[in-house]
Amino acid sequence: MKMKSLFLAMAALLPVEAFACTSLIAGKKATADGSVLVTYAADSHTLYGELYNRPGGKHSAGEVRKIVEWDTGKYLGDIPQVAETYTTIGNMNEHGLTISESTWGGREELADTTGIMDYGSLIYVTLERARTAREAIKVMTDLVKDYGYHSSGESFSIADSEEAWVMELIGKGGKEKGAVWVARRIPDDCISGHANHPRIHKFPLNDKENTIYSPDVIDFARKMGYYKGRDEDFSFSLAYGELDATATRGCDGRVWSYFNRFSDGMDAYLPYVMHGEGEAFPLWVKPNRKVSVNDMKWMMRDHFEGTPMDMTQDIGAGPYAVPYRWRPMTFKVDDKEYLNERAIATQQTGFSFVSQMNSAHPELMRGILWFGVDDANTCVYVPMYNGITSIPHEFAVGNGDLLTLSWDAAFWVTSYVANQAYHQYSKMIDDIRKVQKAEEATLEGEVDKFIAELPSMDAATARQRLNAHSADASKRYVKRYKDLGDYLLVKYMDGNIKREKDGKFERTPEGMPVSPIYGGYDERYYRSIADQTGDHLRIK
């Protein structure tokens, strides 16, 4: 399918409210410190960035768990509560279990509006009930079997400190209760990912240790007329994704960019990524070097730099090499349709994270959720630990929303910085990077110190210290970014660049501002003006 058809299909198949997200994975033997790493960007034009939290506890017989659809806030029903639940911190729980997702829609006739469990509730209820990745797979699949699946096709990253899995799941359209699904364990020495297109093609049918699937995943496809071949040739992606090998440039391209950064030979898959032609790249690859937490943070800031899809290189980047494109994703000129690239880093991110799970860490730090809000490219990832019991005010639910500005909310100060950069990116980004990198380096050093010191503390003291650190780090970040936003506004006002000396804006001996630098445009942009206007603006 050509790219025009791809984006039309995506628009038709994905629900209006569904989030277009990205999740990347690295196994424990693929990382620099033996951590299992999972990332997530929750991208939506209506999602506010805040850190969800639900305390765990004991529950009495007869209690129910209310299910509210994550995308819309719509009440879907109640399910029986279990005897004990675990505390959740965003998409991680107190045991360090992490679950993230990306929506791919799939065959629209398989949507089931009668189900109770939407994909968001499936994540958060499971985090309340499971300790490990394998437990989570069972909880999730039991929930949709018992109460029905309300959403469209989803890919899930499910990981603990020992292993990571990708599970892909889609409902049965109300024709039968439940869902069909496949879960595959990512080899410890490999990296993987998904981004709004099903990534599981053929899978082994007799490897219960590393591949789990619903008993009817192939039979149901046959019954619906999606597949007629041999069991061993069955592709989940082709049967249920319906888009064949298409959702590439706008979806799989993001995963390809991750693989391309850390693995050799990915150019061979460019025909697939660019045009939906040729062989699909694999579910996982072995990296050519160990991947660090910091690597994953920067991968979430990717705009295809250095690839044929580099968003800074075409005229759409404007005079300031802006790696962003306002929506919609496609546009027409003279009845010809064109697309905008869709990178991992995007302006409409609500929140993102890098989850670091390591069994060698102190128990209360076994999971570290490096959490950011708004655009991942300009945010600071702040550590939230599996052992914390309170959420910092700056990230707390209810501190502002998309229609209510709050100057002590991390989302709003990050947006304050990011939205200035969108207009003069090449000029501002170095100033942003100085603050961002310094803050993250400080946080990484503080976390390393806690890893060394926590084993000598009693549990109560350790928990108090971790709560305090997440709170102090959040407050410091918000202050520094508010100051950064103010600085950018003053320095780059009206297209000028204020001169600086000894860390201050420069003044004349009389106290007046010195003459600024005139920012102008880059040569490429000037050439495009000359080419377009001919002699109209030429000085003769």
> How big is the chain, counted in residues?
540
Q: What is the pLDDT of residue 238?
A: 94
Q: What is the pLDDT of residue 248?
A: 83
Q: What is the pLDDT of residue 243?
A: 59
**3-state DSSP: the chain helix, strand, coil percent, rounded to 5?**
35, 20, 40
Condensed to tens digits (0 to 9), the pLDDT of residues 391-420 reads 999 999 999 999 999 999 999 999 999 999
Determine the Cα–Cα distance for residues 221 and 216; give it in Å rounded to an integer: 8
Domain ranges for the chain, please list them.
Answer: 3-339, 361-491, 497-533
Rounded to an integer, the average pLDDT of 419-438 is: 98
Lowest-confidence range among 18-22, 158-162, 417-421? 18-22
Lowest-confidence range among 11-20, 66-75, 109-118, 231-240? 11-20
pTM over 0.85: yes
Determine the Cα–Cα distance for residues 136 and 292; give it in Å rounded to an integer: 25
Determine the Cα–Cα distance for residues 399 and 260; give it in Å rounded to an integer: 38
pLDDT at 209 over 50: yes
Neighbours of 212 (CB within 10 A): 19
Q: What is the pLDDT of residue 19?
A: 65
CA 6 from chain center: how many Å?
21
DSSP code at position 251: I
Instruction: Compute and round to an integer the Cα radius of gyration of the chain.
Output: 24
DSSP string, 284-347: EE--SSPBPHHHHHHHTT---TTSTT-TTSSGGGGGGT----PSPSEEEETTEEEE----SS-T
pLDDT at 7 over 80: no
Rounded to an integer, the average pLDDT of 205-228 is: 98
Beta bridge partners of 134: none
Beta bridge partners of 396: 51
Q: What is the pLDDT of residue 20?
A: 83
Rounded to an integer, the average pLDDT of 99-118 is: 95
Lowest-confidence range among 21-30, 137-146, 520-529? 520-529
Q: What is the pLDDT of residue 242?
A: 65
pLDDT at 377 over 70: yes
Beta bridge partners of 182: 168, 213
Determine the Cα–Cα distance for residues 155 and 179; give it in Å rounded to an integer: 13
Determine the Cα–Cα distance for residues 493 and 515; give it in Å rounded to an integer: 13
Q: What is the pLDDT of residue 3?
A: 37
Condensed to tens digits (0 to 9), the pLDDT of residues 82-107 reads 999 999 999 999 999 999 999 999 99
Determine the Cα–Cα distance for residues 176 and 135; give it in Å rounded to an integer: 24
Q: What is the pLDDT of residue 461?
A: 98
Indicate the pLDDT class of residue 11, thresholds 50, 70 and 90. very low
Condensed to tens digits (0 to 9), the pLDDT of residues 471-509 reads 999 999 999 999 999 999 999 999 999 999 999 999 999
Q: What is the pLDDT of residue 175?
A: 81
DSSP 3-state assignment of 272? helix
Determine the Cα–Cα distance for residues 307 and 316; give it in Å rounded to an integer: 16
Residue 250 · residue 6 · CB < 8 Å:
yes
Average predicted confidence (pLDDT) for the chain = 95
Q: What is the pLDDT of residue 327?
A: 93
Nearest one of 28, 43, 25, 31 to 346, comparing CA atoms: 43
Lowest-confidence range among 166-180, 243-257, 368-382? 243-257
Phi and psi torsions of 226, nearest 5°:
-85, -20
Q: What is the pLDDT of residue 389?
A: 97
Condensed to tens digits (0 to 9), the pLDDT of residues 318-330 reads 999 999 999 998 8
Please list the alpha-helical segments (H only) found in 95-206: 119-129, 133-147
Sign of the Cα pseudo-torsion (463, 464, 467, 468, in order): negative
Indicate the pLDDT class of residue 271, thresholds 50, 70 and 90. very high
Sign of the Cα pseudo-torsion (261, 266, 270, 273, in order): negative
Question: Can you read off the two tokens belonging to residue 174?
Answer: 């109300």
CB burial of 405-432 (b: ≥16 within 10 Å; e: otherwise) equals ebeebbbbbbbbbbebbbebbbbbbebb
pLDDT at 12 over 80: no
Rounded to an integer, the average pLDDT of 417-445 is: 98
